[in-house]
Structure 1
Amino acid sequence: MFSAATSGFLLGGSLIIAIGAQNAFILRQGLLREHVFVLCLICSLADAVLIAAGVGGLGTLVASSPKLIMAVTIGGAIFLGCYAVLAFRRAMHPETLRAARGGGGSLKAAVAACLAFTFLNPHVYLDTVLLLGSLSGRFVGAPRLAYGIGAATASFAWFFGLGYGARLLQPFFARPSAWRILDIIVGLVMAGIAVSLVARLFGQVSAG
């Protein structure tokens, strides 16, 4: 179960860390110290619900078909490999993430923007429901639950860490070199998981 939870945490974390509109929004709110707890909670719970849907529904469907598991594993490895390449490309041409400063936004407006960044982004469904959910088919019973909890835990850790840690990170992430380091780490994690998926697949084929 620990291995499954760790796998879910690392995969979920590697996907969510990628710099995007949602993360930029949370970073901005963290720098402004406005509605940080509510917004981080919305993002985290949204991910948890989507992950649960993927692990509970799509994961079960995939688990019933070894050929589908193979196809999803290959697709997941390719997907993560592409993400790794994109991360390494960003590392070669880093840019600072400009979190615009404004003043006194209302909670209602902030929540509306947060929901838009979360649910109007097609990648959130690809990452949580399809990719994370499909790859949960490698686990059965309690390990699958642990995998989902691990992935959801990564979302909570990332969003709250980003929201409340923003004020501490502001001087560091004002430099392009900081984003280069982050993207290299993201690329290495994704590439490592992709390689492990391919290795496990070849191991299963050899055993069969």
Structure 2
Amino acid sequence: MGAAVLAGVGLGLSLIVAIGAQNAFVLRQGLRREHVAAVVAVCAVSDVVLILAGVAGTGAVLERVPWLVTVVRVAGALFLAGYAVLAARRALRPTALAAEAGGARASRGAVLGTALALTWLNPHVYLDTVLLLGSVAGTHGADRWWFAVGACAASLLWFTGLGYGARALRPVFARPAAWRVLDGVIAVVMAALAASLLLGAA
């Protein structure tokens, strides 16, 4: 049991810690102190649902309908490309940023909609969290649900730490130039991910 939990924590962290669209968004919201609890909850709960679905066998279903993953891949690429344009626009127009808040405060609905889209329109979520993690969980036999517990715990800890830990960087982002750099990096990451998704769908 203990080994399965630790294995779940290790694989779970290895799949979500890498810089990606979702993590970049959570970091930005944490720095802005804008709807952080709601964003963390959406990302963590979504991850838990996907992990449990993978362990329950949804990955096998996705393998039988590969066109569904392609549809999600294209939709996710288009969304990421649009988000990259918005981030690039913020980076190139510093006058659109407020020195302290990093821009005008967005509504809760808009922020949660973006968090949901960045999570559920990301095909890597289905390939990694559902297919890969679900497959590895199956190797633990009767302990696969303990493996799932570990993976779920890793997601909860990571998103909570990222969202609220970002506050430690607030002094750095007291300057508009820092926000320009952050948004520039986010734009590049989003554009690169969009391109890789489109190339993968071709």
* Pair in the same fold by TM > 0.5: yes
In structure 1, give the amino acid aligned to 2:103: G
Aligned to 1:94: none
Answering whether residue 5 of structure 2 is matched by residue 11 of structure 1, we say no
CA–CA distance in structure 1, aligned partners of residues 120 and 131 of structure 2: 15
Q: Deviations over 1:96-152 (max 9, x none)?
A: xx8x822211000001000111011111111110000011111122x2111001001
Distance 1:168 1:32 in 2: 12
- Percent identity, aligned pairs only, is 55
| Contact 1:58 1:134 (8 Å CA) reproduced | no
Q: Kindly provide the amino acid, as one letter, of the partner of residue 147 in structure 1.
A: F
Q: Superposition pairs for residues 178-193 of structure 1, below 5 Å?
A: none
Aligned residues: 137
1:129 corresponds to: 130
Partner of 1:44, secondary structure, is helix
CA RMSD of aligned residues (A): 2.3
| Counterpart for residue 160 of structure 1 | 160
Query: Which secondary structure does the structure 2 equivalent of 1:134 belong to?
Result: helix
Cα drift, residue 169 of structure 1: 3.7
Partner residue in 2 for 1:82: none
Q: Which amino acid aligns with 1:16?
A: I
Q: 1:139 to 1:172 in 2, by over 3 A?
A: farther
Deviations 1:126-182 (A, max 9, x none): 1110000011111122x211100100111110001000000114568979xxxxxxx
Q: Which runs of 5+ in 1 are unaligned?
A: 62-97, 176-208
| Alpha-carbon separation, structure 1, partners of 2:139 and 2:58 | 12
Partner of 1:108: 109
**Partner in structure 2 of residue 47 of structure 1:** 47
Tell me which residue corresponds to 1:32.
32
Query: Which one is further off, 22-31 or 164-173?
Result: 164-173
Equivalent in the alignment of 1:117: 118
| 1:151 partner amino acid | A
Secondary structure at the counterpart of residue 43 of structure 1: helix
Residues 8, 172 of structure 1: alpha-carbon distance in 2 compared, 3 angstrom cutoff: farther
| Partner amino acid, structure 2, of 1:41 | A
1:53 corresponds to which letter in structure 2? A
**Separation in structure 1 between the aligned mates of residue 152 and residue 103 of structure 2, nearest angstrom:** 31
Q: Please, what TM-score do these two structures have when normalized by structure 1? A: 0.61
Cα distance in 2 for partners of 1:158, 1:108 equals 23
What displacement does 1:58 show?
A: 4.8
CA displacement 1:45-100 (0-9 Å, x = unmatched): 101001101101157x6xxxxxxxxxxxxxxxxxxxxxxxxxxxxxxxxxxxx8x8
Superposed counterparts of 1:21-100, under 5 Å: 21-58=21-58
Q: Which moved more, 1:101-110 or 1:165-174?
A: 165-174
Unaligned runs of 5+ in 2: 61-90, 92-96, 182-202
Output the CA distance in 1 between the equivalents of 2:171 and 2:128: 30
Question: What letter matches 1:158 in structure 2?
Answer: W
The CA distance in 1 between the partners of 2:5 and 2:12, in whole Å, is 10
Give the whole-Å Cα distance in 1 for the aligned partners of 2:140 and 2:128. 18
TM-score, length-scaled by structure 2: 0.63
* Greater Cα offset, 118-127 or 163-172: 163-172
